[in-house]
């Protein structure tokens, strides 16, 4: 099943609930929450207090993407704050399996992300321990970047391994996905699509609905 996860990093935080409600009217079922620490990635975004407010404002599935160093320090707090899925970056983990098990023990879904420069092969051993693999198709830290075409093969590779291993693992793509390239991303095996500026610039409800129409084909 395909899911669409608008990234609130591109939303207007002065009208955050209104923006989220507009994505709901457009038909989305997920919301992507980018947490940045200014260390692993250049930008600083927001943390638990904002997530708690979002959780109060919506029943959407909260897909929380931790772009932070030593994420294991904060897993429990993000779950308490309302995360339904916690994704950590393979590049930040000294003991990946241990951290994935830590997330699982909190009773939420487990995600593992890799950056554009990280070979697909590095995530393969951990696919049996996660619910979602996230392929970054831009360098994380800023919204509005262009999709990196070289990442398409990586999406296809990981999708192939998930099928070969007969795993029930979602494949999410985040970065530069727009209406003109989302079908290509889906055709290569992704089933969870993140979009930020392509949703929140302009008519949010209309933009969301247009993505949803493609995802439902």
Spatial contact of 31 and 62, defined as CB atoms under 8 Å apart: yes
Number of H helices, E strands in the chain: 8, 8
C-alpha span between 90 and 117 (Å, rounded):
12
Catalytic option among 34, 37, 63, 170: 34
What are the CA-CA distances from residue 89 to residues 15, 40, 132 (Å)?
A: 30, 9, 12
Spatial contact of 113 and 120, defined as CB atoms under 8 Å apart: no
Annotated catalytic residue 174: yes
- H/E stretch holding 63 reads strand 61-67
C-alpha span between 90 and 87 (Å, rounded):
9
Catalytic option among 19, 37, 131, 174: 174
Exposure string (b/e) for 165-176, b if CB count within 10 Å is 16 or more? eeeebbbbbbbb
The three-class DSSP label of residue 147 is coil
C-alpha span between 31 and 208 (Å, rounded):
12
For the annotated catalytic residues, the residue numbers are 34, 174
């Amino acid at each position: 099943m395909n899911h669409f996860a608008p990234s609130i990093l591109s939303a207007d935080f002065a009208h955050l609930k209104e923006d989220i409600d507009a994505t709901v009217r457009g038909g989305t079922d997920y919301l992507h929450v980018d947490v940045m620490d200014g260390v692993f990635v250049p930008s600083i975004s927001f943390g638990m207090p904002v997530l708690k407010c979002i959780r109060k404002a919506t029943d959407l599935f909260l897909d929380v993407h931790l772009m932070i160093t030593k994420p294991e320090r904060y897993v429990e707090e993000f779950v308490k704050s309302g995360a339904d899925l916690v994704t950590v970056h393979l590049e930040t983990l000294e003991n990946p399996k241990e951290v994935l098990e830590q997330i699982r023990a909190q009773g939420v879904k487990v995600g593992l992300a890799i950056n554009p420069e990280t070979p697909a092969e590095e995530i393969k051993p951990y696919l049996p321990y996660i619910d979602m693999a996230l392929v970054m198709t831009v360098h994380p830290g800023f919204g509005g970047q262009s999709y990196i075409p070289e990442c398409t093969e990586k999406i296809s590779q990981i999708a192939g391994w998930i099928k070969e291993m007969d795993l029930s693992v979602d494949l999410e793509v985040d970065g530069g996905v727009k209406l003109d390239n989302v079908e290509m991303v889906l055709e290569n095996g992704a089933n969870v699509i993140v979009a930020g500026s392509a949703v929140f610039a302009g008519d949010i409800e209309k933009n969301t609905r247009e993505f949803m129409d493609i995802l439902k084909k």
